[in-house]
Amino acid sequence: MTTNPQARPAFGTVLADQMAIAHFRNGQWTAHEMRPTGPIEIHPAAHVLHYASTCFEGFKAYRWADGSVRVFRMDKHVERMRQSARLLVLPVPDAEQLSKMVLATIDRVRDQVPEPPGALYMRPMLYGTMPNIGAASAPSNEATLIVLASPVWDYFAGGMKPLRIYVEDEKHRTADHLGMVKTGGNYAAAMGPTLAARDAHKVDQVLFCPGGSVQETGAANFLLLRDKHILTRSLDSTFLHGVTRDSLLTMAREMGFKVEERVFDVAEMLEWVKTGEAALSGTAAVLAGVGTLVHRGREHRVGTGEVGPVTKQLRAALVAIQTGDAPDTHGWLTRV
């Protein structure tokens, strides 16, 4: 796999050549099979195509310097996938089976795991296949579970360039009870406002703050940082409970940071960024520094406008664990 930065494909555009697939039928899951990555057959009446019964996950496997491959916090992502399925009333994958599918896929495409700063992005996906166009308020009793893999590098084009973020204080990213579910409909709901803000304000992402209360962006959590202090929204159903967020907060506490998880509003955020830092956290984003917030037509520089030292420090500490440069004291990595 190429390490030449110019030749790296855009995030998600290249897939590993094998995928794992299993089906839920007659009340049980079939054993999975490995298949060449490619088109799948789907009935046009399938539940997912009409009523959006689908969820997915995203996490990474890393190639270490000794050639071994390690997957980061697989159990937590498997549990979140099961929770998403439960909240969408989809057949819930068995944790052991899903983990087995992930590990089998990584093992099969081991040669396609890039070296750092690249990684193999794992994308389990689950969708309802019951062929019934009348089932608008009935769950799908059939489903397909697929594990895709994709060699990835930076999510944000421009690498470590500070991001420009539009602060949206009216529109919602999603329905309040579904924010914690990793389902395609949430991304569909954020798409229009995100493209409109990109067009109007040349921003990278939108920070959703409905009613003035800061939540998250379309594909990452949001953190305010300064010397030995982090502020981020406390967990509730309105936003995705990021595994990267949890990892960073755990590490920060151990490094002696004061970590505040609570509701805060746009006014408090704008005050914070006069001297502090802001960053987006996620599997794809890792910890990406924010340079500018655009709010109601006004530009607010975040700190110096560059990626701040606390953001850089925490990002480096997290990546060091993932890639084997620092000890994995929490047992976050599974050897494949």
* Closest to ligand PLP by CB, 61 or 130: 61
Q: Are strands 59-63 and 28-29 parallel, antiparallel or unpaired?
A: unpaired
Using the rule CB under 6 A, is 181 a contact of ligand COI? no
Residue 147: helix, strand or coil by DSSP?
Answer: strand
Using the rule CB under 6 A, is 179 a contact of ligand COI? no
* Closest to ligand COI by CB, 13 or 137: 13
Give the number of C-alpha atoms closer than 13 A to the C-alpha of residue 281, restricted to the C-beta side.
Answer: 30
SS3 content of the chain, % helix, strand, coil (to 5): 30, 30, 45
The 10 Å Cβ neighbour count of residue 38 is 8
For residues 297 and 310, give the distance between their C-alpha atoms in angstroms, rounded to a whole number.
Answer: 28
Using the rule CB under 6 A, is 217 a contact of ligand COI? no
Do 262 and 231 contact (CB within 8 A), yes or no? yes
Q: Within positions 253 to 282, which residues make up the interface with ligand COI, using CB under 6 A? A: 282
Count of residues engaged in binding ligand COI, rule: CB under 6 A: 5
Identified binder of ligand COI from the candidate list 8, 20, 47, 58, rule CB under 6 A: 58
For residues 97 and 103, give the distance between their C-alpha atoms in angstroms, rounded to a whole number.
Answer: 10
For residues 330 and 70, give the distance between their C-alpha atoms in angstroms, rounded to a whole number.
Answer: 14
Q: Which does residue 84 touch among ligand COI, ligand PLP, none (CB within 5 to 8 A, set by kind)?
A: none
Q: Which does residue 114 touch among ligand COI, ligand PLP, none (CB within 5 to 8 A, set by kind)?
A: none
* Closest to ligand COI by CB, 284 or 287: 284
* Closest to ligand COI by CB, 53 or 283: 283
The phi and psi torsions of 300 (rounded to 5 degrees) equal -115, 115
For residues 239 and 86, give the distance between their C-alpha atoms in angstroms, rounded to a whole number.
Answer: 16
Q: Which does residue 221 touch among ligand PLP, ligand COI, none (CB within 5 to 8 A, set by kind)?
A: ligand PLP
Using the rule CB under 6 A, is 283 a contact of ligand COI? yes
Nearest approach, Cβ of residue 220 and ligand PLP (Å): 5
Orientation angle between helical segments 309-322 and 243-254, nearest 10 degrees: 110
The Cα diameter of the chain in Å comes to 59
* Closest to ligand COI by CB, 219 or 310: 219
Nearest approach, Cβ of residue 5 and ligand PLP (Å): 23
Nearest approach, Cβ of residue 283 and ligand PLP (Å): 3
Residues that bind ligand PLP (CB under 6 A): 58, 216, 219-221, 240, 242-245, 281-283
Nearest approach, Cβ of residue 172 and ligand PLP (Å): 13
Give the number of C-alpha atoms closer than 13 A to the C-alpha of residue 196, restricted to the C-beta side.
Answer: 8
Which residues of the chain form contacts with ligand COI (CB under 6 A)? 58, 219, 282-284
